[in-house]
Structures are given as C-alpha cells and as structure tokens.
C-alpha cells in the first residue's frame, strides 16, 4: 500500500475537516474516504448499492426491492503476491450497528472461509487488509507444504 498510516491520516483529516469529532461522522462520509483511499492506493474497491432499483410512477420515485439486502457496503479486491483476494467491508459510523440481514450475510461469507470486516475508519481497513495478507500467506504456505512437502 502506498502511503500507509500517513495516507490514512490525510484521508481521515479530509473527511473530518467539517466535523469536530468522529461521533458526528456519517457512514457515507467514511465510505467515501475509504473508497478514495483505495483509489489512491490502487486497491480495487466497489461500492455495493442495496437500496434497490428506482423507478418513477405518477411523478413519484419508488424503489424495487434489492436482491442483495444485507450485502456489505464495499467489495475490495486486495492483491497478495499477484493473487486477487476478495474482502467484504461493512462500513459503520461510530455508533452504527449491523442489521440482522447484514449479520446473516457476514455469517454466510465466513462459513465459506471468506474475508469480512466491519470497519469504522481507514485505519480499520488497513488493519483488515494486513490480516488478509497474513491469512493468505498462511494458505500459500499450507498449500506449498501439501504440494511439495515443505521443500520450498
């Protein structure tokens, strides 16, 4: 990652410029900072929209229900030694709590040995990606051990 902790502090400062404390930070601002940080560090991140598809009827906007309710806010593809690893990031404000559908989605991801993190800051994302790197290397070493008997 380019910039590391310094970059995280700069992005967090940019988000906080209109806020006196982290408690007043809205989830959408934290998401934007994380996505900007990912762009700066060349980490592929996609914002997942779970609001549904808007449509107009009689001048009023309605939303068709989304099929991905509970899905994490951001799908990040973190590359570890040229291996793309998907990481789900559920962004929450300081006081935010996960809904039942979000917990169910998290449990499904974890059941399939995926990477899922609840994050409240860029620093949380950095820590999550470091953990993903460690876990990926453990899997690489385990696969190498099985394949070559620990020769490599």
Domain that holds residue 109: 4-148
CATH of the domain at 92: 3.40.1350.10
Helices 27-40 and 4-16 sit at what angle, rounded to 10 degrees? 140
Mean pLDDT of the chain: 86
**Domain total of the chain:** 1
Query: Residue 10 pLDDT more than 70?
Result: no
The string of pLDDT tens digits covering residues 35-69 is: 999 999 999 999 988 777 888 999 999 888 777 78
Q: What is the mean pLDDT of residues 130-149?
A: 90
pLDDT bucket at 150, cuts 50 / 70 / 90:
low
Task: Give pTM, 2 decimals.
Answer: 0.77
pLDDT for res 18: 47
């Amino acid at each position: 990652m380019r910039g590391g902790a310094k970059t995280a502090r700069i992005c967090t400062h940019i988000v906080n410029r209109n806020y006196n404390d982290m408690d007043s930070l809205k989830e959408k601002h934290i998401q934007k900072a994380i996505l900007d940080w990912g762009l700066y560090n060349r980490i592929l991140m996609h914002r997942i929209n779970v609001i549904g598809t808007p449509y107009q009827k009689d001048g009023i906007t309605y939303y068709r229900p989304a099929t991905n309710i509970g899905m994490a806010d951001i799908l990040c593809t973190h590359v570890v030694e040229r291996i793309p690893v998907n990481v789900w990031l559920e962004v929450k404000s300081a006081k935010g709590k996960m809904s039942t559908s979000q917990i169910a989605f998290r449990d499904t991801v974890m059941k399939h040995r995926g990477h899922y993190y609840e994050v409240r800051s860029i620093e949380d994302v950095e820590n999550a990606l470091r953990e993903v790197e460690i876990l990926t290397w453990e899997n690489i070493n385990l696969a190498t051990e099985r394949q070559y008997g620990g020769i490599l």
